[in-house]
């Protein structure tokens, strides 16, 4: 068997400016908007696609067996379905530590995680099924599902995405909700700049959706992005489990990262995601979804 791959040359997203990240977000929005407006097979409506029964809200939130139909024209056996649910379920390291007082008192955690992170991560876990139901009930669009700076290269004015292994059915806003925090986990961008990146990238993403003709409810995009915080509910327990490890490898495992820096940056990112989760809990009922189990 032979596998032919294009040699894409350009600047890796790992070194991009916020402005360049925002341009990628705009182009991503334009691509999703075109699919939502015209359909992956050339059909569809300007109001967007809401899955098999064209519904969202209280009647459109389901568990693992109730996911809406895949993105139109993309229901192929080799494309992923329920990726977010499967991905989270496979991450189990340190889960028993989420309620462990000793683990949270470790100096790396105690000194570098902002106040309130523990409560926010515990609450995110308690609402996990609700968040997954929201994500599985939002408008569907063909998605990359592994959008992060290491998987994108600037190719002239364009962005070239690589590593399509997870591609398939995703929620509107999900790719963006993955991309933004993933600029920080491996220290490509300082966590202190997350609010700036998120605001700039979201505005650009919506602009891309609109310029491609999508006229749906922008709040659905916002909800998809914010509810994507659930993708990382496993990462805090993993950090608790690895706090005693002498070696903290960098991305790729060839070098090391100063432990204090890693825990400080990720702690700030967890606090940021707590804000997204809170926004999703407040926004969802306004769109007809049931309230989160832990309330607003």
Residue the block writes with tokens 């609700």: 130
| Contact indicator for 153, 66 with CB cutoff of 8 Å | no
pLDDT score at 66: 31
| Contact indicator for 196, 245 with CB cutoff of 8 Å | no
- Identify the burial level of 236 via C-beta atoms within 10 angstroms of its C-beta, where 0-12 means exposed, 13-18 middle and 19 or more buried: buried
Question: What are the residues facing 11 on neighbouring strands?
Answer: 154
Tokens read off for 288: 């007809």
CB atoms within 10 A of CB 274: 19
pLDDT score at 250: 85
Radius of gyration of the chain, Cα coordinates, nearest whole angstrom? 19
| pTM assigned to the model | 0.88
Of residues 64, 131, 89, the one with CA closest to residue 294: 131
pLDDT score at 254: 83
Say how far apart CA 240 and CA 105 lie, in whole Å.
10
pLDDT score at 46: 34
Say how far apart CA 93 and CA 91 lie, in whole Å.
6
pLDDT score at 49: 29
Tokens read off for 241: 């489990």
pLDDT score at 135: 98
Say how far apart CA 68 and CA 75 lie, in whole Å.
12
Could you list the pLDDT tens digit for every one of the 296 residues in the chain? 776 777 888 999 999 999 999 999 999 999 999 999 886 543 343 333 233 233 344 333 333 333 334 454 556 788 999 999 999 999 999 999 999 999 999 999 999 999 999 999 999 999 999 999 999 999 999 999 999 999 999 977 788 999 999 999 999 999 999 999 999 999 999 999 999 999 999 999 999 999 999 999 999 999 999 999 999 999 999 999 999 998 888 887 788 999 999 999 999 999 999 999 999 999 999 999 999 999 98
Residue 115 DSSP SS3: coil
CA separation (Å) from 171 to 77, 134, 143, 226? 18, 9, 8, 12
pLDDT score at 159: 84
| Contact indicator for 34, 43 with CB cutoff of 8 Å | no
Buried b (16+ CB within 10 A) or exposed e, 149-161: bbbbbbeeeebeb
Buried b (16+ CB within 10 A) or exposed e, 175-186: bbbbbbbbbbbb
pLDDT score at 64: 31
Q: Are strands 140-143 and 11-12 parallel, antiparallel or unpaired?
A: unpaired
CB atoms within 10 A of CB 217: 14
pLDDT score at 32: 96
| Contact indicator for 289, 207 with CB cutoff of 8 Å | no
| Contact indicator for 83, 65 with CB cutoff of 8 Å | no
Say how far apart CA 197 and CA 183 lie, in whole Å.
9
Say how far apart CA 33 and CA 14 lie, in whole Å.
26
């Amino acid at each position: 068997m032979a596998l032919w791959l294009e040699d894409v040359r350009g600047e890796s997203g790992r070194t991009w400016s916020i402005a360049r990240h925002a341009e990628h977000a705009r182009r991503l929005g334009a691509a999703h908007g075109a699919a939502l407006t015209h359909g992956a097979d050339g059909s569809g409506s300007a109001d967007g696609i809401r899955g098999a029964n064209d519904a969202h809200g209280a009647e459109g939130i389901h568990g693992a067996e109730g996911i809406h139909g895949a993105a139109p024209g993309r229901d192929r056996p080799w494309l992923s379905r329920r990726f977010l649910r499967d991905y989270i379920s496979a991450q189990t390291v340190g889960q028993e530590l989420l309620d462990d007082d000793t683990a949270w008192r470790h100096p790396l955690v105690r000194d570098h995680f902002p106040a309130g992170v523990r409560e926010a991560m515990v609450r995110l876990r308690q609402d996990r099924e609700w968040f997954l139901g929201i994500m599985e009930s939002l408008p569907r669009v063909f998605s990359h599902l592994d959008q992060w700076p290491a998987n994108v290269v600037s190719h002239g004015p364009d962005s070239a995405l690589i590593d399509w292994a997870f591609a398939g059915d995703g929620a509107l806003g999900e790719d963006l909700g993955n991309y933004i925090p993933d600029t920080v986990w491996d220290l490509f961008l300082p966590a202190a700049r997350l609010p700036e990146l998120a605001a700039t990238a979201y505005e650009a993403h919506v602009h891309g959706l609109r310029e491609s003709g999508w006229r749906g409810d922008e709040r659905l995009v916002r909800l998809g992005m914010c509810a994507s915080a659930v993708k990382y509910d496993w990462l805090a327990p993993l950090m608790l489990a690895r706090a005693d490890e002498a070696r903290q490898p960098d991305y790729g495992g060839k070098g090391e990262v100063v432990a204090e820096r890693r825990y400080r940056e990720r702690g700030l990112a967890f606090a940021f995601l707590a804000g997204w989760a809170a926004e999703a809990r407040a926004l969802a009922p306004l769109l007809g979804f049931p309230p989160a189990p832990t309330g607003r």
